[in-house]
């Protein structure tokens, strides 16, 4: 099993999309990238902790590749809006790839460059951060699998 961590706005929709992928064993909503280790959603949503809402994806790399996970990441959010996805605004909603090893960093940088080169986003700058993983803190239980538990439509960002 391997791990990958992505931030692409509100973690509910990000988690939902990754759970749909064959080879994904688990997708856990949580927080990464902040200054303190013991945090709660109420603190993170203020934007003052430095954390991003993220999803830690546990996957079987013999079934699904990291490149395929990157494709899901890029396809389900707008990487050109700084600290914002749809109506969610703040540093906690930033576009970020937290890499777990050097190969993930290289693949993430390569995929970001390919997006720039292929011009999908036109003249808009891709603001996605690619940074080394930090401590992952799982979000509260009520956030896990939130869309399914609450029978909601996915909060996919349309662009």
Closest alpha carbon to 6 in 124, 126, 136: 136
DSSP class of 50? -
CA 115, CA 10: separation in Å to the nearest integer? 22
Write out the two tokens for 23.
């080879």
Residue carrying the six token digits 């990000």: 14
Q: What are phi and psi of 88, to 5 degrees?
A: -85, 115
Helix (H, G, I), strand (E, B) or coil at 138: strand
Q: pTM for the full model? A: 0.92
Looking at domain 2-149, does it have CATH number 3.20.20.105? no
In order along its 159 residues, the chain shows pLDDT tens digits of 999 999 999 898 899 999 999 999 999 999 999 887 778 898 998 888 999 999 999 999 999 999 999 999 999 999 999 999 988 899 999 999 999 999 999 999 999 999 998 878 888 899 999 999 999 999 998 888 877 777 666 665 544
Catalytic residues: 10
Q: What are the structural domain ranges in the chain?
A: 2-149
Write out the two tokens for 135.
């401590």
- Say what the pLDDT of residue 159 is: 44
Query: Taking each helix axis from N to C terminus, what angle separates 66-75 and 102-118, rounded to the nearest 10 degrees?
Result: 40
């Amino acid at each position: 099993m391997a791990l990958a961590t992505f931030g692409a706005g509100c973690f509910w929709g990000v988690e939902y999309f990754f759970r749909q992928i064959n080879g994904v064993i688990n997708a856990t909503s949580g927080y990464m990238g902040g200054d303190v280790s013991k945090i709660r959603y109420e603190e993170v949503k203020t934007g003052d902790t430095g954390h991003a809402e993220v999803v830690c994806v546990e996957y079987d790399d013999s079934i699904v590749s990291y490149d395929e996970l990157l494709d899901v990441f890029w396809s389900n959010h707008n990487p050109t809006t700084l600290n914002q996805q749809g109506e969610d605004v703040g540093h906690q909603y930033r576009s970020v790839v937290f890499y777990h090893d050097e190969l993930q960093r290289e693949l993430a940088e390569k995929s970001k460059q390919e997006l720039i080169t292929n011009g999908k986003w036109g003249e808009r700058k891709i603001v996605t951060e690619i940074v080394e993983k930090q401590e992952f803190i799982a979000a509260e239980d009520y956030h896990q699998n939130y869309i399914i538990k609450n029978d909601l439509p996915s909060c996919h960002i349309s662009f």
